[in-house]
Copies of this chain bind each other. A is one copy, B any other.
Amino acid sequence: MNQTIETLLNHRSIRKFKDEKLTDEQLNTIIEAAQQASTSSYMMAYSIIGVTDEEKKSQLAEISGQDYVKNNGHLLVFCADLYRHTLYATPSEYEQMLSNLENSEHFLVSAIDAALASQNAAIAAEAMGLGICYIGSLRNQLDKVDEILHLPKHVLPLFGMVIGVPDHEPDLKPRLPKQAVYFENSYNRDHKEELAAFDKEIASYYEARQTNNRSDSWTDQMRRRFSKPMRMDVTGIVKRKGFNKQ
């Protein structure tokens, strides 16, 4: 099979790494690949912060609650970035630009641009035999992450990514049946059977897997997830950083 397709289909999140830092060459390739991703209207509305300072990594690991945020080959933080777009604006232009820049459209643009770049980074890393894990839990305390990385207004941290030489080999995690995710021409609201079938599949997976095995299903997980307020402060922080305001 095509090597690239194989890499894509073989993805699993890696949460335990060997004690080896990425080489400069590996990191350069990862960043170069990230930068070549598609970008909305050439805005390239994202930045990447590589965190190498051990004290900062410890602080971010504490926010995330995951030790692998500290122990890895490299840590990247992907940010939505609309800061550089106004650097050459005159003061009066700047005022005019703000209401446009700060709307939901450009919040979406910058979040999507950052995500496309990050996924290229992930694939590049995996293609070189490295493993990765996305770190959404940086959003547990977005204001602190913002402070640690000294981000200006119009730069918003979205998520991290740890990269390194894998030190475990987790099972491939099942995905929803295609019939529940891909539709032709119109959305099919009648998902329940597909979800029930998936619940059975995922229950077997959780029972059989090597570590952290348990009795659970997907729909139960989602009910637990959404049953209590989570990261309700993200809304306010996003607006304070100058995104998603109108």
Chain A positions near chain B (C-beta within 8 angstroms): 2-5, 7-11, 13, 28-29, 31-33, 35-38, 40-44, 46-53, 56, 79, 83-89, 93, 96-97, 99-101, 103-105, 108-109, 111-112, 114-116, 118-120, 122-124, 127-128, 132-134, 136, 139, 149-152, 155, 158-159, 173, 175-176, 178, 180-187, 189, 191-192, 195, 218-219, 221-223, 225-232, 234-235, 238, 244, 246
Contacts and interface: CB of A to CB of B under 8 A. Distances in A.
Of the listed residues A84, A103, A122, the one surrounded by the most CB atoms of chain B closer than 10 A to its CB is A84
Given A8-B33, A40-B134, A152-B189, A2 B127 contact: yes
A183 B48 contact: yes
Contact of A155 (B46, B93, B187): B187
Contacts of A122: 38
A103 B35 contact: no
Nearest to A194: B84
A38 B51 contact: no
Contacts of A115: 111-112, 115-116, 119
Contacts of A195: 84, 87-88
A35 to B, nearest CB: 4
B44 A181 contact: yes
A21 to B, nearest CB: 13
A82 to B, nearest CB: 8
